[in-house]
Structure 1
Amino acid sequence: MKIKSKLLIVGAILALIALTTMQGYLIFNTYDLRKKSYAVESRTKIGSIVKTPYVDSLSWNYRMEFVEKIPEYKNGIITKDSLLNSLEKFSSLKNDTFLDYFKKGAEYYNLDDNIQFKKIATSIQLSENGETEDLLIDGKDEPIFLLGTNFPTDEGLIINAWNWTFDKDYTNTLNQESTVDIKYRATIYMKILNWDTIIFKRLLLLFFVAFLLFLFIILLVTYSIRNLLKLKRISDIKTDFINNITHELKTPLATLSIATKTLTNKFAKDNKDIAKDSIDTINRQNKRLQNLIDQVVDNSVGYNDINLNKEQVNLSSFLKDLSEDYALTLPKHIQFIKSISDVSEEVSVDQFYFSTAIVNILNNAVKFEGSVIKITYQIENFEHIISISDNGIGISKKNKTLIFGKFFRVSEKNTHNFKGLGLGLYYCKQIINAHKGTLDVKSRKNEGSTFFIKLPLSNGKKNLISR
Structure 2
Amino acid sequence: MNHSKYQIILYVIVLVIISTIGIQGYWNYKNYQSHRRQLVNDVQTSLDKAVDDYYTQLAEKTTFAFSFVNDTISSADHEHSEISSVLKHFDSTKSLLDFSKDSIKGVKIYTGYSADSIMELAQSDLERKKDSLIQSNIKNNVQYLDIKKLTSKVMISINSDSISLDNLSHLVNKELSRKQLDITYQLSFKAKNEETKKAHVWNPNTLEPPYLETQSKSNFLPKGSQLTIQFSNISSILLKRMVLGILISLTLILGVIACLIFLLKVIRNQKQLAEVKNDLISNMTHEFKTPIATIGVALESLKDFNALSDQKRTESYLNISNQQLTKLHMMVEKLLETATLDSHDLELKLESNNINDLLLQLKQKHQLQTNKTIHFSHPDEHIFALLDAFHFENAINNVLDNAIKYGGDIIKMTLSKENKRVLLSISDDGNGISKLHKEHIFDKFYRVPQGNTHDVKGFGIGLFYTKTIIEKHHGSIFLDSNTKQTTFTISIPHG
TM-score, with normalisation over the residues of structure 2? Answer: 0.67
The alignment covers a number of residue pairs equal to 394
Question: Whole-Å Cα distance in 2 between the matches of residues 436 and 202 of structure 1?
Answer: 52
2:189 equivalent to 1:119: yes
Tell me how far 1:321 sits from its aligned partner: 3.7
Per-residue deviation, 1:350: 3.7
Contact 1:357 1:427 (8 Å CA) reproduced:
yes
Equivalence for 1:34: 35
Match of 2:83 in 1: none
Q: What secondary structure does 2:283 align onto?
A: helix
Relative to 1, partners in 2 of residues 1:295 and 1:145: Cα closer, same or farther, differing over 3 Å? same
Residues 103-141 of structure 1 show CA distances to partners (whole Å, capped at 9, x for unaligned) of 66x3798584635543214x73xxxxxxxxxxxx6xxx6
What's the counterpart of residue 50 of structure 1? 51
The structural deviation recorded for 1:338 is: 2.2
Query: Following TM superposition, by how much is the alpha carbon of 1:259 offset from its aligned partner in structure 2, in angstroms?
Result: 5.2
Counterpart of 1:20 in structure 2 is: 21
How far is the alpha carbon of 1:222 from its aligned partner? 2.8
Higher RCO (CA-CA < 8 Å; seq separation 6+): 2
* Letter of the structure 1 residue corresponding to residue 16 of structure 2: A
Following the alignment from structure 2 to structure 1, what is the Cα–Cα distance between the partners of residues 486 and 329? 32
Contact 1:403–1:410 (8 Å) recurs in 2: yes
Q: Counterparts of 2:25 and 2:92 in 1: how far apart (Å)?
A: 50
CA contact (8 A) 1:42 1:111 kept: no
- 1:225 aligns with 264
Please list, as runs of the form range in 1=range in 2, the aligned pairs for 1:424-463 lying within 5 A after superposition: 424-444=462-482, 446-458=483-495
After the TM superposition, which residues 193-342 of structure 1 pair with which residues of structure 2 at under 5 Å, given as runs?
193-258=232-297, 268=305, 272-273=309-310, 276=314, 282-302=321-341, 304-331=344-371, 334-342=372-380
Structural mapping, 1:341-356, within 5 Å: 341-356=379-394
Secondary structure of residue in 2 paired with 1:211: helix
Contact 2:367-2:374 at 8 Å conserved across structures? yes
2:70 paired residue number:
none
Deviations 1:152-181 (A, max 9, x none): 999653436899xx9xxxxxxxxxxxxxxx
Alpha-carbon distance in structure 2 between the residues aligned to 1:309 and 1:97: 89
Helix, strand or coil: the match of 2:412? Answer: strand
8 Å CA contact 2:420–2:494 kept in 1: the answer is: yes
Q: Encode CA deviations 1:8-57: one digit per residue, 9 max, x unaligned.
A: 22321221111011001001101101111222343344335436893899
Secondary structure of 1:19's counterpart equals: helix
| 1:86 corresponds to | none
In the aligned structure 2, how far is the partner of 1:20 from the partner of 1:242? 43
Q: Give the alignment partner of residue 215 of structure 2, picking from 159, 170, 173.
A: 159
Matched-pair contact (CA < 8 Å) for 1:120–1:186: yes
Contact 1:55/1:98 (CA < 8 Å) preserved in 2? no
What's 1:421 paired with?
459
* C-alpha contact (below 8 Å) 2:386/2:494 kept by paired residues: no
* Counterpart residue identity of residue 330, structure 2: N
Q: Distance in 2 between matches of 1:199 and 1:63?
A: 48
Structural RMSD (CA): 4.1
The 1-side partners of 2:432 and 2:337 are apart by 27
In structure 1, the residue corresponding to 2:447 is in which secondary structure? coil
1:71 paired residue number: none
Corresponding residue for residue 199 of structure 2: 145
Corresponding residue for residue 131 of structure 1: none
- Native 8 Å contact 2:40 2:212 kept in 1: no
Q: Deviations over 1:420-459 (max 9, x none)?
A: 1111112222333343333322222x2221222333222x
Deviates more, 1:150-159 or 1:4-13: 150-159
CA contact (8 A) 2:291 2:324 kept: yes
Overall identity of the aligned pairs, in %: 27
Q: Does the C-alpha gap of structure 1 residues 144 and 161 become closer, same or farther in structure 2, counting only changes over 3 Å? A: farther
Counterpart residue type for residue 159 of structure 1:
Q
SS across alignment from 2:230: strand
Query: CA separation of 1:143/1:456 partners in 2, compared to 1, >3 Å: closer, same or farther?
Result: closer
Deviation for aligned residue 1:231? 2.7
Higher strand share: 1
The verdict on how the C-alpha distance between 1:52 and 1:326 changes in structure 2, with shifts beyond 3 A counting, is closer
Q: Name the residue aligned to 1:366.
A: 404
Q: Distance in 2 between matches of 1:91 and 1:118?
A: 14
Deviation at 1:269, TM superposition (A): 6.0
Q: Which of 379, 387, 391 is the aligned partner of 2:429? A: 391
- Give the AA of the match of 2:291: P
Deviations 1:301-322 (A, max 9, x none): 3295445455443333333343
What SS does the corresponding residue of 1:301 show, helix, strand or coil?
helix
Change (3 A) 1:383 1:161: closer
**Corresponding position: 1:11 with 2:65:** no
Name the CA distance, whole Å, in 2 between partners of 1:390 and 1:92.
94
Gap change, CA 1:64 and 1:95, over 3 Å in 2: farther
Larger Rg: 2
Q: Report the CA distance between 1:366 and its aligned residue.
A: 1.2
Change (3 A) 1:320 1:261: closer
CA separation of 1:221 and 1:270: change in aligned 2, threshold 3 A: closer
Shift in CA distance, 301/210, structure 1 to aligned 2, threshold 3 Å: same
